[in-house]
Amino acid sequence: MRVYLDHAATTPITDAALAAYTAELSKLGNPSSLHASGQAARRRLETARGEIMHAVGASTPSEIILTSGGTEADNLALKGLYWARRAADPRRRRVLVSGIEHHAVMDTAEWLESAQGAEIVWLPVGRDGIVDMDAVDAELADHADEIALMSVIYANNETGAVQPIADLTSRAHAHDIPIHTDAVQAFGHLEVDFARLGVDAMSISAHKIGGPVGIGALVLARSAVPVPVLHGGGQERSVRSGTLDVAGTVAFAAAAQDAVQARAAESERLAGLRDSLTAGIAERIPEAELLGPSDGRTLPGTAQFVFPGCEGDSLLFLLDAAGIDCSTGSACQAGVSRPSHVLLAMGFSEDDARSVLRFSLGRTSTSDDVERLLTVLPEAWTRAKTAGMVSTQGAWRKYSDGGVK
């Protein structure tokens, strides 16, 4: 029996979401069609949209812009808001982005810089992974008239560090600057209230909360009018054209309702499991360093460690062979091994950034899962360190013999 500790990458679909999904797949009708079948599909979709609206604390159903997932929502927010702001005021080229964003935001920002003339300002973070508010204040004081938008992740996908989004929003809005937050990891685990946060745009995704892959949303304030990335039939306030996924939306709504209703109790349960996991690792491997804030500003089920002296990939493969599923970080980097940009932004060395593992707990996680990990981890770490030493010694011998180190 495998132990699954990678819920931040994706989590199993809930019974309610699966039942809603499979039932809807047997029904016919394009929700943009005017005939009876199409309008019946539209009613089911709009009911689901309203349920998602309530789950995220939006004010009206029209604030829920359905997308294919978090990556599309992030792209639409950054590109669309940047283009709209530049069109209204060509001076606004600066985009403030934290250095610990998911690649869906980070890579989009880099594309805006290389292809669209944006000037990206990477907001620094402390060793705890929290955005430096003094740096934000300095940017706003010196360059407010040049800033197009700000984007800061709600809860980091690697460390679980939770950012002060409401404070950032009040600072940005004082200078008439829109703000986007990627809440893909936060939604379902933290209290996420779009209206109370006051952000202009917020990305969420179904498969992180027990819904299907391929459906998400950009929660978009009525005052925000981004330039569309996709053009076509004018669906979703003409912000995101395309035939709407009724089955995915209905399943998303079912998962969102379950997640919000169970959130308080489930977060408490996961926090307890996380405490057992982190205490057990500290006892068995004192050299391991737990990342993120030490004051509780973190996701309840996420724990990332630096395991010094070994490559994170080596440790991951050894744990995989022992039946443990975990991660070195984001699952959205197409299998490319590279040091964690999140840790580099937090001031860790490249060696440390290559020596990390993330354990993320979810609805199916149990105390037995934690105990199984703690049983096999010390030996796996010892073997991973030995493998690293052998690899380094082999490289040095090649170098000494005239080869390439």
Assign residue 295 the CATH number of its domain.
3.90.1150.10
> For all residues of the chain together, what is the average pLDDT?
94
Higher pLDDT, 395 or 155: 155
Q: Establish if 159 belongs to a structural domain.
A: no
Q: Which two tokens stand for residue 224?
A: 């925000």
Q: Establish if 74 belongs to a structural domain.
A: no
Q: Quick check: 172 pLDDT over 80?
A: yes
Q: How confident is the model at residue 296 (pLDDT cuts 50, 70, 90)?
A: confident
Look at strands 302-306 and 289-290 and give their pairing: antiparallel
According to the model, what pLDDT value does residue 338 have? 78
Look at strands 119-123 and 94-98 and give their pairing: parallel
Q: Establish if 291 belongs to a structural domain.
A: yes
Q: Establish if 215 belongs to a structural domain.
A: no
According to the model, what pLDDT value does residue 1 have? 87
- Choose, from 25, 321, 332, 390, the residue flagged as catalytic: 332
Q: Establish if 329 belongs to a structural domain.
A: yes
Range with lowest mean pLDDT among 7-11, 269-273, 335-339: 335-339
Buried/exposed code over 195-231 (b: 16+ C-beta within 10 A; e: otherwise): eebbbbbbbbbbbbbbbbebbbbbbbbeebebbbbbe
- Among candidates 290, 289, 287, which has minimal Cα distance to 378? 287
CA distances, 136 to each of 74, 133, 167, 348, 397 (Å): 21, 5, 11, 21, 48
Averaged pLDDT, 172-193: 98
Q: Quick check: 395 pLDDT over 90?
A: no
3-state SS class at 203: strand
Averaged pLDDT, 249-259: 98
Buried/exposed code over 117-127 (b: 16+ C-beta within 10 A; e: otherwise): ebebbbbbbee
Averaged pLDDT, 300-308: 97
Q: Establish if 346 belongs to a structural domain.
A: yes
| Global pTM value | 0.93
Q: Residues 105, 110, 112, 118: is their CA dihedral positive or negative?
A: positive
What would the DSSP string read from start to end of 349-394? -HHHHTSEEEEE--TT--HHHHHHHHHHHHHHHHHHHHHHHHHHHH
- Our answer to whether residue 326 is catalytic in this structure is no
Averaged pLDDT, 56-66: 98
Q: How many domains does the chain have?
A: 1
According to the model, what pLDDT value does residue 404 have? 34
Q: Establish if 359 belongs to a structural domain.
A: yes
According to the model, what pLDDT value does residue 94 have? 98
Q: Establish if 39 belongs to a structural domain.
A: no
Residue 291 belongs to what domain range?
3-8+263-400
Averaged pLDDT, 202-207: 98
Averaged pLDDT, 85-109: 98
According to the model, what pLDDT value does residue 393 have? 41
Q: Quick check: 333 pLDDT over 80?
A: no
